Amino acid sequence: MKKSRKKVIIILIIVFIVVIAAAVLILRIGNTKQSSTAVVPPTTVKVKNGDIDERVTASGTIQPTDEESIFIELSEDVKKVYADVGDKVEKGQLLVTYDTDNDKKELEDKVKSAQISLDNAELELNQMVKPAEGTELIELKSAVQSAQKDLDSANKAYSDNEDDIKKDENDMDYYKQMLSLGGMSQSDYDDFMDDYNGLVKNRTTLQSNIKTCKLALEKAQLNLEYGQDRLKDSSTKESYEKQKNAAETAKMNLDEAKTNLSKLAEATYSPISGTILENSAVAGQMLTDSTAIMKIADLTNLDVLAYVSEYDIAKVEVGQEVELTSDGIENKTYHGHVTKIEPSAESKSTISGSETVVPVLVHMDDNDELVKPGFEFDMEIIVASLSNVNYIPVSSVMKNTKTDTYYVFVVGDDNILKKKIVELGISSDMYMQLISGLESSDVILESPDSSVKEGANLMDYATVKEGTSTSSSSGGFLSNLFGGGKTGQSGGGPGGGGEMPSGGGNHSSTRSRN
C-alpha cells in the first residue's frame, strides 16, 4: 500500500515538472511574432447629443461691393494723369486734368449764338400778340365810328324814302280824281307818278346801301377786336403757333449749348476711396464720352457673387451666415452673410451640361489683403442650426420607399437586429437630427446595407481581419489551465462605440458641430 502511494507521488511530481517545462516553452513561443486572424463585428454607435448645422454649398467669384467706373460727358484731350492702376486714392482726390481752352471758347460761342436766336424768336412771338395801341388803336376805333355813322346815314335815307313813298301812295287817289275831273293836267300827273316810281325804285338801292354799311361796321368792329386780342384771328393764331415752335426749338438749342458747356470738365476727381483697377487716361490723347477713364473699387469691402442650385435656393434667406474658403488661400476660413437673392433664375453651363441656378450675393465680413477681386471661393451657407439636439449618422439611416419612412437597425442585448422607424429633422453631411424613434441608450448599426435583415445576429455580418502581431498567450493558457476568470467579450459587441462615420450626406453639403 505504501509502495503504491509512493509511486503515485512520483508520477505526480513528474507530471508537474513536465507541465512546468511546457509552460516555459509556451511562454517563449508566445512572445515571438506570429500570424493571427480576428473576427470584427460591424461598427455600432449610440444616439449622440449636441449641435448640428444644415448647409447649402455654392461657389462664386469675389467682386467689390463699391465699384465706380468714371466717365467724362464730353470728349476731351487729356492734359495730365495723376494716378495709375494699383494706386490707392481717397474720395475727392485729383485724378486727371484736361486741356479745355479751345473747347470752352467754341462752346461759349454756341451758347451766345443760341441765346440770340431765342431772343429774336421770342421778340417776334411777343410782337405777334401785342395788342393795338397808340395811332393804330385810334385808327381802328375811328373806322368803327365812321362805319357806324355811314350806317346811320343809310338807315335815315331809307327811312326818308319810305316816308315819301307812303305820302305819295296816300295822295295817289286824290291825284287820280283830280285828273279825271280835269283839276290836274296829264303832265302834272305823270310827273307825280314818275316821282313815286323813282322812290320805289330807290328803295332797293337804299336797302343794299344799308347792308353794305352793316358789313363795313362789322369788319371795323372785328378789326378793333383783333387789334385788342390778336389770337382771335385764325391766321394770326396759326402764325403764332409756328413762331412758338420756332422759339421752343431755339430754347432747346440754347439749353443744349449750355449743358455741353457745363459738361466740359477741367479735371476729374475720385468719387470714392479705393484702389484703381483700370486706367484709360493717357496724357496728350483724347478720351471719348463712351470710354471709362478709370475703374476704382474699395477692396476692403467685398462681395461674392455665387450661384445656388434651384433645388437648394428655397432654403436660403437673406441674413444667413456663410463660411467661405478658397483653394488659393490655404487653411483659412472667412465668414460672411447673404445680402441679396435675385428674383429670377438663370441657366449656367456645367461639365455635364447645364444647370438652373439663382444668383446670390454674399458680403464678406472678415476679408483681408489676401482676398482679391476675381478669386473663386467655395462657400457653405448655414441654412439651419440647432443646439442640444439628438442626432445619428446619415449612414445608419435606411429608407422604405414603399411607405416613405426611414428606419435604423437597433442592436439588442442578445445581438439581434431590430428595425425601428425614426423621425428625422435637418441633416448635415454626416449626421441627421433625430426627432423621435430611439432612446438615448439605444445602440444602432452604423452603416447597414441592403443585405442586412431584421432578426439577424450582429455577428452574421462580421468580417475576418488578418494581420501579424506580437503577443503572449501564456497568461490565458495558464489561467485556463489553473482555473482563471471568464473569457472577455469582443470590443465590437453591442456595447462598442466605434469611430464617427466619414461618409453619408445629402444634396446640401452641411456639417455637424460636436
Model pLDDT for residues 385-420, shown as the tens digit of each residue? 888 989 999 999 999 999 999 999 999 989 899 999
Least confident of 45-59, 219-233, 288-302, 322-336: 219-233
Model pLDDT for residues 7-39, shown as the tens digit of each residue? 556 666 665 665 565 555 555 544 444 556 788
- At residue 139's C-alpha, the angle toward residues 137 and 145, to 5°, is 105
% of the chain with per-residue pLDDT over 90 = 40
Q: What is the mean pLDDT of residues 107-122?
A: 88
For residue 119, pLDDT beyond 60:
yes
Q: What is the CATH number of the domain that holds 325?
A: 2.40.30.170
C-alpha cell at 500: 464617427
Model pLDDT for residues 291-304, shown as the tens digit of each residue? 888 999 999 999 99
Report the distance separating Cα 329 and Cα 377, nearest Å: 10
Q: Are residues 286 and 329 in the same domain?
A: no
What contacts 509, CB < 8 A, 6 or more positions away?
55, 56, 57, 380, 429
Model pLDDT for residues 303-314, shown as the tens digit of each residue? 999 999 999 999
Q: Are residues 21 and 76 in the same domain?
A: no
**Residue 459 forms part of a structural domain:** no
**pLDDT value of residue 361:** 96
Q: Are residues 324 and 361 in the same domain?
A: yes
Model pLDDT for residues 337-354, shown as the tens digit of each residue? 999 999 999 998 888 888
Q: Are residues 162 and 182 in the same domain?
A: yes
Least confident of 68-77, 141-150, 357-366: 68-77
Q: Give 410 or 75, the one with higher predicted confidence.
A: 410
Model pLDDT for residues 425-450, shown as the tens digit of each residue? 888 888 988 989 998 888 999 999 98
Name the one residue in this structure whose C-alpha cell is 441674413: 319
**Residue 427 forms part of a structural domain:** no
For residue 4, pLDDT beyond 90:
no
The answer to whether 417 touches 445, Cβ cutoff 8 Å, is: yes
CB atoms within 10 A of CB 113: 13
**pLDDT value of residue 220:** 86
Closest by CA to 373, choosing from 304, 324, 280, 307, is 304
Q: Are residues 276 and 364 in the same domain?
A: no
Q: What is the mean pLDDT of residues 63-80?
A: 88
For residue 501, pLDDT beyond 90:
no
For residue 156, pLDDT beyond 60:
yes
Q: What is the mean pLDDT of residues 49-62?
A: 91
For residue 497, pLDDT beyond 60:
no
For residue 509, pLDDT beyond 90:
no
Confidence category of residue 467, pLDDT binned at 50, 70, 90:
low
Q: Are residues 136 and 224 in the same domain?
A: yes
**Residue 242 forms part of a structural domain:** no
Report the distance separating Cα 260 and Cα 110, nearest Å: 10
**Residue 154 forms part of a structural domain:** yes
Least confident of 308-312, 396-400, 452-456, 479-483: 479-483
- At residue 350's C-alpha, the angle toward residues 347 and 356, to 5°, is 25
Least confident of 94-98, 101-105, 432-436, 456-460: 101-105
Q: Are residues 355 and 306 in the same domain?
A: yes
Q: Are residues 217 and 274 in the same domain?
A: no
**pLDDT value of residue 8:** 54
Least confident of 164-178, 240-254, 303-317, 474-488: 474-488
Mean pLDDT of the chain, nearest integer: 82
Put simply, whether the predicted model's pTM sits higher than 0.85 gets the answer no
Model pLDDT for residues 170-211, shown as the tens digit of each residue? 988 888 888 888 888 899 888 889 999 999 999 999 999 999
**368, 386, 404: which is the final residue of a domain?**
386
Report the distance separating Cα 505 and Cα 511, nearest Å: 9
**Domains of the chain: total:** 4
The amino acid sitting at 171 is D
Q: Are residues 85 and 20 in the same domain?
A: no
**pLDDT value of residue 105:** 80
Which residues constitute the domain of residue 153? 132-228
**pLDDT value of residue 10:** 64
**Helices 234-263 + 101-129 axis angle, to 10:** 160
**pLDDT value of residue 446:** 92
**pLDDT value of residue 230:** 77
**Residue 195 forms part of a structural domain:** yes
Q: What is the mean pLDDT of residues 91-111?
A: 85
Q: Are residues 220 and 280 in the same domain?
A: no
Q: What is the mean pLDDT of residues 43-54?
A: 90
For residue 74, pLDDT beyond 90:
no
Least confident of 31-35, 137-141, 220-224, 276-280: 31-35
Q: Which helix (H) or strand (E) holds 259?
A: helix 234-263
Q: Are residues 139 and 202 in the same domain?
A: yes
**Residue 404 forms part of a structural domain:** no
Q: Are residues 143 and 197 in the same domain?
A: yes
**Residue 476 forms part of a structural domain:** no
The answer to whether 189 touches 177, Cβ cutoff 8 Å, is: no
For residue 495, pLDDT beyond 50:
no
For residue 493, pLDDT beyond 50:
no
Confidence category of residue 134, pLDDT binned at 50, 70, 90:
confident
**Residue 373 forms part of a structural domain:** yes
